Amino acid sequence: MARVAVVTGGTRGIGEAISLVLQEQGFTVVANYAGNVEKAKAFTERTGIPAVRWDVGDHETTFHNCVDIAARFGPIDVVVNNAGVTRDGVLHKMSFDDWNEVMRINLGGCFNMAKATFPGMRDRGWGRIINIGSINGQAGQYGQVNYAAAKSGIHGFTKALAQEGAKFGVTVNAIAPGYIDTDMVAAVPAPVLEKIVAKIPVGRLGHAEEIARGVAFLASEEAGFVTGSTMSINGGQHMY
């Protein structure tokens, strides 16, 4: 029986690429989304991957949806915490709501998904939790104190939970993407984007599929000795 993988924010951009690669690897994939119903419907029609709408920042809703997914498709063995939002602005102009929403979804969503699925993984003796961080959570970014804090928090969350899961066969890892050619990055003004690319040693933006292949490895049987790690996929833009 195929293992079940849930990808949050899994119908667009990096999340869509992750959903497709895991499907290719033989997982039964369920994609979470929070926004556009029509685009999610088109995603399911195109890929055959069911899409379920809920806000991962809502603790109770996340728990109930994970229970429902397990009842419909089988126990959840792989979680990819990819869902995230931005509410950029310098601190002196940032509202509490802009801070709180990013923390609630980007970091709180990781907690909510893990809380709903980690106990079952632990009981079954196998599981994979893969959290999508960011280069900006490692290096910081002007105008993103909320986003950088949430993504940095994801890296700490990963290392702590990895220690709890290790002896039960549950690995917890993170991937920190650099600048990837998604719709979000495409919206950056051309002159700004040129300056960003100029700082990337390989000389280009990354592709969503490159992040997805990293996820596929961490979700595999072969990655059982990898836990508590952060895989940086950023073209050499930030190294440490």
Among 9, 4, 63, CA closest to 32: 9
**pLDDT tens-digit readout, 142-188:** 889 999 999 999 999 999 999 999 999 999 999 999 999 988 787 78
The predicted model scores a pTM of: 0.95
Is residue 196 within 8 A of residue 179, CB to CB? The reply is yes
**Homologous superfamily assigned to 4-233:** NAD(P)-binding Rossmann-like Domain (3.40.50.720)
- The reply to whether 142 belongs to the active site is no
**pLDDT tens-digit readout, 64-98:** 999 999 999 999 999 999 999 989 899 999 999 99
Give the Cα separation of 131 and 25 in Å (integer): 19
CA angle 234, 237, 240 (to 5 degrees): 95
Max alpha carbon distance in the chain (Å)?
Answer: 53
Q: Quote the mean pLDDT of the chain.
A: 95
Which DSSP symbol is given to 221?
G
For residue 36, give the amino acid letter: N
Tell me what percent of the residues of the chain surpass a pLDDT of 70. Answer: 100
DSSP string, 36-64: -HHHHHHHHHHH---EEE--TT-HHHHHH
Is residue 232 within 8 A of residue 132, CB to CB? The reply is no
Domain regions of the chain by residue span: 4-233
Spot the catalytic one: 33, 147, 179, 240.
Answer: 147
